[in-house]
Amino acid sequence: MATPDSRYIIHEITPLSDKDCFYIADRRKSEFTYPLHSHSEFEINYIENAEGVRRIVGDSVEIIGKYDLTLIAGEDLEHVWEQHQCTSKHIREITIQFSKDLFFGNLIHKNQFDSIRKMLSNAQKGINFPMETIMKIYPMLDTLSAEKSGFHAVIKLLTILYDLSLCDNYRSLASTSFAHIDENSDSRRVRKIHEYINNHYKEEIRLENLAGIIGMTPVALSRFFKLRSGKTVSDYIIDIRLGYASRLLVDTSNTIAEICYECGFNNLSNFNRIFKKRKGCSPKEFRENYRKMKRII
């Protein structure tokens, strides 16, 4: 059964044909009007001359600069580019959509596709690329829609994906809990910690209990987890709780206080402060922004 609000998010039926490897739209425009949506196809979205546009991918809300390049591979990951404070009348947007079947099954599991496979897995949360990567792939991106040979166009797209996958500092956007993504880890001990936090985020989680699960001292766990995950245990717990809270703000009509306590925060003022610091807006504003961008269909 659909939740009270989630049924109003468009699940887009893209123009991609079963007989085509990918679909590309290279547009010149003056505004963004399409509402919050999701689709099963993978998507590369490049935007230039659109400073002030607000990009929303899951529970990530950011104002973009002059250039923005994002890859989305989450089938149910809501996303939108909203006009917000953008006044430019000379926006360029290149959207490439392709099916996961592009790699016809087992091809993506060959060694030569390791980096692309890892990138597409990470892109289930949406990933954003830095300026140096944009400049590297721009010549191919700029001319892709004009490529007359369908075969060479596909080779160019695969090259773009490969070059993007070599970027070692792209950023994940949505939180794992909001996007309902299970994070893979090459460490059995880190995976155990992740599983425990995801199962007990509503409760008080003590570092001593986590350390006992994997047979470490609390100090050793703190160092180990930061080294393997790139963040502290407490920051990871907060991220998980905020992801679940964001999903409840979008999908339910529960009060903000109810959501606060449902997600393991024991103080409403503290919840509001942490949410605004991490998301750039209050829980109330986050919910209102989502509702403004939904369209009944």
Tokens of 19: 């007989």
pLDDT digit string, tens, across residues 88-98? 999 999 999 99
Mean pLDDT across 237-263: 95
Name residue, tokens 């003056």. Answer: 30
13 pLDDT above the threshold of 80: no
Q: What pLDDT was estimated at residue 296?
A: 38
| DSSP run (H or E) holding 225 | helix 218-229
Contacts 24+ apart (CB under 8 A), 248-251: 249/283, 249/286, 249/287, 249/290, 250/5, 250/6, 250/59, 250/78, 250/287, 250/290, 251/3, 251/4, 251/5, 251/6
Domain 183-293 CATH class label: mainly alpha
Mean pLDDT across 181-197: 78
Confidence of residue 109 (pLDDT cuts 50, 70, 90): confident
Confidence of residue 4 (pLDDT cuts 50, 70, 90): very low
Within its chain, how far is the Cα of 71 from the centroid? 8
Q: What pLDDT was estimated at residue 18?
A: 78
Q: Which CATH architecture has domain 6-172?
A: Sandwich (2.60)
Following DSSP, what letter does each residue of 120-162 receive, concatenated?
A: HHHGGG-EE--HHHHHHHHHHHHHGGG---HHHHHHHHHHHHH
**pTM of the full predicted structure?**
0.78
Q: What pLDDT was estimated at residue 143?
A: 96
6 pLDDT above the threshold of 70: no
Mean pLDDT across 156-164: 96
- Using CA atoms, how far residue 257 sits from 148, 234, 278, in Å, is 57, 22, 18
Q: What pLDDT was estimated at residue 48?
A: 97
What sections of 32-127 are H helices per DSSP?
114-122
Residue 166: left (phi > 0), alpha (psi -120 to 50), or beta?
A: alpha
pLDDT digit string, tens, across residues 16-48? 777 888 999 999 999 998 888 888 899 999 999
Mean pLDDT across 131-153: 95
Between CA 183 and CA 191 the distance in angstroms is 8
Confidence of residue 110 (pLDDT cuts 50, 70, 90): confident
Domain boundaries, the chain: 6-172, 183-293
Confidence of residue 184 (pLDDT cuts 50, 70, 90): low
Q: Pick from 166, 165, 183: which is nearest to 174 by CA?
A: 183
Sign, CA dihedral 86-88-89-95, equals negative
Q: What pLDDT was estimated at residue 253?
A: 92
Sheet holding 127-128, edge to edge: 22-29, 91-98, 42-48, 67-72, 127-128, 171-172
Mean pLDDT across 134-141: 96
Query: Does residue 198 sit in helix, strand or coil?
Result: helix
Characterize 239-271 residue by residue with b for buried, 16 or more Cβ atoms within 10 angstroms of its Cβ, and e for exposed: bbbbbbbbbbbbbbeeebeebbebbbbeeeeeb
pLDDT digit string, tens, across residues 47-56? 999 999 999 9
Mean pLDDT across 181-192: 72
Q: What pLDDT was estimated at residue 185?
A: 53
Q: Are 72 and 41 in contact (CB under 8 A)?
A: no
Q: What pLDDT was estimated at residue 93?
A: 97
Confidence of residue 9 (pLDDT cuts 50, 70, 90): low
Between CA 32 and CA 64 the distance in angstroms is 13
Q: Are 141 and 46 in contact (CB under 8 A)?
A: yes
